[in-house]
Amino acid sequence: MRTLLALAAFGVLALGAAACGSDDNSDGGGGGGGSSNLSGSIKIDGSSTVGPFAQAAAEAFQGQNPNVKVTVGTSGTGGGFEKFCAGETDISDASRPIKPDEEAPVCKKEGITYQEIQVANDGIAVTTNKDLKVDCLTVDQLKKIWNKGSKVKSLKEVDSKFPGTPLKLYGPGTDSGTFDFFTEQINGEEGVSRTDYQPSEDDNITVQGIEGSPGGLGYFGVSYFEANKSKLNLVGVDGGSGCVKPDQKTVQDGSYKPLSRPLFMYPNEKALKRPEVKAFLQYVIDNYQTIAKDSQIVPMTSAQAAEGKKELKTAEAKAG
């Protein structure tokens, strides 16, 4: 017993020493110096959908500017705005625009001014289990399945040509932006949905659920589909102009209707006065393609990026 304890105590000392030991910040990710007389810190918080994008940007930026400390939190779009409007963060990540009745007034009251800048795109993929072969669903059909009070038990009730396998529905948690967006686009109003499906906080679990149930059908962020392509059946959505399947291109240019949405970063105008914050946002706008690719997020189109550049310039001008 004593030897076991001694070994374990040694274990932690070794762990601690190893971790403290080398001050190697991060091997790889933009080796050398670059314009690295920038210093300071940048606090980013908000949506966990935008999180990986912000993280990839932060990592690359820090590689070139090792004296700037960037931290990224994922308290959620709502939690992020709350901290942002309390002046605690410099940039807020959001998977939806700031709410004009509930969130914007708080920022106004605290004297926080900001700029909405799109940084990437996101799509919601509708998928089914591989055994449930469905190629396309119209928005109306989706609404029939997912609307409040819907008693649809199998796809046959929506269209007699579809298989009659009993459905097992999965989706994101009802507190998430994905849920709000899907219900608004498909059912007409945020929060309107049938309540007898399996919600989960972790989209990986939703994927697993659909994969494991013969009648599995569900929706989640498109990057989770990309990572699990071979395990699921992707359903195209017909938003009025034909059946479109979500992929990088169709989500970018919006032809995957109506389930494509922009992702935002909101910088605090006062924070933009600091050179490191300005440089960071400039970096994001200039390198949006690589950052999106690294974080498996759908990038902007060049038109959207040009718009973003303009927005950033306006914000900088306002900041002075």
Partner 1 sequence: MRAARSSKLRDAAFRIALLTCIGISLLLLGILLVDVVRDGIGQLSFDFLNRFSSINAKRSGIEAALMGTLWLMAVCAGFIVPIGVATAVYLEEYADNGRWWNRLIEVNIQNLAAVPSIVYGILGLAFLVRGPLSLGNVVLAGGLTLGLLVLPVVIISGREAIRAVPSSIREGSLALGATRWQTIWRQVLPASIPGIATGVILALSRAIGETAPLIVVGAATFIAFNPSGLDSQFTALPIQIFDWISRPSNDINNYKPLAAGGILVLMILLLAMNSIAIWLRNRYEQKW
Partner 2 sequence: MEASAATTTRRAVPSIGAARRRWGEELIKGLLLAAALISVLTTTGIVISLLRETVVFFQSVGVGEFLFGTKWTPTFEPASFGVLPLVVGTFLITGIAMAVAIPLGLGSAIYLSEYARPRVRKTIKPALEVLAGVPTIVFGYFALTYFTPNILQDILHLKVDVFNALAAGIIMGFMIVPTVASISEDALSAVPQSLREGAFGLGASRFQVSTRVVFPAALSGVVASVVLGISRAVGETMIVLVAAGQIANMSANPEQPHYTFTSFIGAIAKGDIPTGSIEYKTIFAVGMTLFLITLAMNLISIRFVRKYRQVYE
**CA–CA distance, 247 with 19 (Å, rounded to integer):** 41
For position 140 contacting partner 2 by CB under 8 A, the verdict is no
- Contact region for partner 1 (CB under 8 A) — 19-27, 115-123, 152-160, 182-190? 19-27
Taken in order 127, 128, 130, 134, the sign of the CA dihedral is: negative
For position 206 contacting partner 1 by CB under 8 A, the verdict is no
**Closest to 199 in 3D by CA, of 225, 229, 219, 222:** 219
**Closest to 96 in 3D by CA, of 204, 190, 171, 172:** 190
Q: Which residue in the set 51, 123, 209, 239 belongs to the binding site for partner 2 (CB under 8 A)? A: 209
For position 11 contacting partner 2 by CB under 8 A, the verdict is no
Amino acid symbol at 136: C
Sites for partner 2 among residues 79-98 (CB under 8 A): 79, 81-82, 95-96
Sites for partner 1 among residues 160-189 (CB under 8 A): none
Shortest spacing between CB 254 and partner 2, in angstroms? 22
The total number of residues written for the chain in this structure: 320
The structure tokens 């800048």 sit at 117
Cβ distance 50 to 263 under 8 Å? yes
- Contact region for partner 2 (CB under 8 A) — 115-123, 168-176, 260-268, 273-281? 168-176
Query: Which of partner 1, partner 2, none binds 95 (CB below 5-8 Å, type-dependent)?
Result: partner 2
String of DSSP letters for 159-209:
-TTS--PBPEEEEE-TTSHHHHHHIIIIISSTT---S-SEEES-HHHHHHH
Query: Which of partner 2, partner 1, none binds 242 (CB below 5-8 Å, type-dependent)?
Result: none
For position 173 contacting partner 2 by CB under 8 A, the verdict is yes
**CA–CA distance, 73 with 199 (Å, rounded to integer):** 23
**CA–CA distance, 266 with 151 (Å, rounded to integer):** 41
Cβ distance 295 to 123 under 8 Å? no
Q: Tokens standing for 126?
A: 């509708």
Shortest spacing between CB 206 and partner 2, in angstroms? 10
Instruction: Give the max Cα distance, the chain.
Output: 73
Query: Which of partner 2, partner 1, none binds 196 (CB below 5-8 Å, type-dependent)?
Result: partner 2
For position 295 contacting partner 1 by CB under 8 A, the verdict is yes
- Contact region for partner 2 (CB under 8 A) — 101-109, 131-139, 158-166, 256-264? 101-109
Cβ distance 311 to 116 under 8 Å? yes
What is the contact surface with partner 1 in residues (CB under 8 A)? 4-5, 8-9, 11-13, 15-16, 18-22, 24-29, 41, 43, 45, 48, 51-52, 54-56, 58-59, 62, 69-75, 79, 83, 86, 88, 201-204, 223-224, 226-228, 294-296
What is the contact surface with partner 2 in residues (CB under 8 A)? 1, 4, 47-48, 75-79, 81-82, 95-96, 99, 102-103, 106, 148, 173-177, 179-180, 183, 189-193, 195-196, 198-202, 205, 208-209, 212-213
